[in-house]
Amino acid sequence: MASSSSSSSSSPPPPPRRSVFDAAYIRAEFAAAGISPHFIPLIWKYVLQNPRCGDLDAVPSLPAAAYALLRQKFQPTTSTLTTAAESKDRTTTKLLIRLKNGESVEAVIMRYDTRLGKYDGKPRPGGVRSTLCVSSQVGCKMGCRFCATGTMGFKSNLSSGEIVEQLVHASRYSQIRNVVFMGMGEPLNNYTALVEAIQALIGSPFQLSPKRITVSTVGIIHSINKFNNDLPNINLAVSLHAPDQDIRCHIMPAARAFPLVKLMNALQSYQNESKQTIFIEYIMLDGVNDQEQHAHQLGKLLETFKAVVNLIPFNPIGSSSNFKTSSEHNVKKFQKILRGIYNIRTTIRQQMGQDIAGACGQLVVSLPDERSAGGATLLSDIEDIRI
């Protein structure tokens, strides 16, 4: 009996089942089995509408071969929602999601009021709707000194399915209209999974408009060069954060690999090709990059671009940070220079979810320090800013 048990235990375990939202993998498996890919959106729709489903046998109207393949190689989701923290004002919900490798990522639901945005100088119609801030990596190798995620270092890339599953989990709490890749990680360092995930999100059953998806990058030049070809009409946001290379390298060590002159040339080529407005993200750090001369430098740097600048008040992230938040006076002065002298559309990002560490720069798993509390109100969103 012992030898029989020993020999049976030595057989290799079956490969782990993959997420049905790993689009390239499920398409390849269906093709190999001779099953039409048209059934895949039906499977996704079922899981989206039944996020707690344990298996895929209940998906209606599939061929028998599809059920057998799903049982053998797939599961509805490979990640699990661990916790959901709600901000006191209920505008923000931070989701902690555990991946199949045991690591965790965070995603944040932000609720906005479209009536607070303007279009052609007039208030927008509509009402409250939600944007999901998703993560693309566990940790980040960029090491930006003002960002909590950078303190984690890089741990792993998410699969395309794990990116999409963040929307599946978030849909239990809110109907998501916009998606921004501004969570944990550098999206363009996980380029293949990013492209695959976005292509899934703009298709059935998610049907997100490309104009309501924004990808933020520190400036990975070789990926920017192919971004428009692979992801047409998707918004590109660039975490510039400084108007010259020296300051940029000081606060963003990874910028050494992406010289500012080469980055701006790549962005100009991208804009000439895509005709898309570029969103420029600029974190306001007291005494570092928030002075009047920096505003003038930034204005001159962007004078040939169709751009919107989003000034971001720095979020304290505990003892891991040596930076301070710019004064409101300096932020307003900076905005006035960019708007008045250089005619650049410039907004100031209002903070959401600081009391649950869900605001910009605060996404980090297991950072022990206390964060500042903030009382946010319903806000207009970056996708509601149009020139």
> pLDDT per residue over 43-63, tens digit each?
999 999 998 888 899 999 999
Q: Show which residues are catalytic.
A: 106, 360
Instruction: Please report, for residues 23, 86, 117, the alpha-carbon distance to residue 127 in angstroms, rounded to integers and kept in the order given.
Output: 33, 20, 10
The confidence score (pLDDT) of residue 9 equals 54
Using a pLDDT cut of 90, give the percent of the chain over it: 72
Mind listing the pLDDT tens digit for each residue in 364-378?
544 333 333 333 333
Is the pLDDT at 350 greater than 90? The verdict is: no
Is the pLDDT at 15 greater than 90? The verdict is: no
What would the DSSP string read from start to end of 21-78?
T-HHHHHHHHHHTT--GGGHHHHHHHHHH-TT---STT-SS--HHHHHHHHHHEES-S
> pLDDT band for position 144 (50/70/90)?
confident
The mean predicted confidence, pLDDT, of the chain is: 87
Mean pLDDT of the 322-341 span: 96
Dist CA 79 CA 359 (whole Å): 23
Rounded to two decimals, the pTM is: 0.86
CATH code 3.20.20.70 region(s) in the chain: 80-384
Residues 6+ apart with CB under 8 A from 160: 21, 22, 23, 24, 192, 193, 194, 196, 197, 200
Dist CA 129 CA 285 (whole Å): 31
Mean pLDDT of the 161-170 span: 98
The confidence score (pLDDT) of residue 322 equals 84
- Domain 80-384 fold: TIM Barrel (3.20.20)
The confidence score (pLDDT) of residue 51 equals 83
